[in-house]
Structure 1
Amino acid sequence: MSKIWDPKRQQLRQYLKQLRDESGLTQGKLAEKLNKPQSYVSKYESGERNLDFVETIEICEACGAYNIETLVNIVSDK
């Protein structure tokens, strides 16, 4: 199984997409806030691109409110 499709990465992508949707942002509007092309958002949401920790936090901050505990729970082995 490819690393991008492991359950934790899938959950993280779903969480980030949910954050974007709940913030009322399109992929294009979020990309503008991040100073990135729309394809950047599309690729990480679809699993074509991995994100590092800093990028993940930047996305969360651009979407507004997020729960750091949720992020930790997604990636932890608890």
Structure 2
Amino acid sequence: MVKTLGSDRHNKLVAILIEKREGSGLTQTELAAKLGEYQSFVARLESGQRRIDVVEFIQLSEILRFDPATVISQLAGKIERR
């Protein structure tokens, strides 16, 4: 199994989630409150220090109002190598 933290796909997922949160006008603290978590939880997600499981991903999509299937499709596409 390939390490996922810090992978191109993980980094792209993090970037998309940050973009969606900022686009929704929520701060990390406000998003954390909606998740029932501390701000540090969101900070660890957004800094790439923590994996996002599928249940969390769906919850984030509901709160941030994006289609999870569209984001998965973006992640499943070819990832550019640096």
Q: TM-score range by the shorter chain?
A: 0.7 to 0.9
TM value normalised by structure 2: 0.83
Gaps of 5+ in 2: none
Counterpart residue number, 1:69 = 70
Gaps of 5+ in 1: none
For residues 47-62 of structure 1, the aligned pairs below 5 Å read: 47-62=48-63
Identity of aligned residues (%): 33
Runs of 4+ off more than 3 Å: none
More helix by share: 1
For residues 20-39 of structure 1, the aligned pairs below 5 Å read: 20-39=21-40
Q: How many residue pairs align between the two structures?
A: 76
TM value normalised by structure 1: 0.86
> Radius of gyration: which is bigger?
2
State the superposition RMSD in angstroms. Answer: 1.7
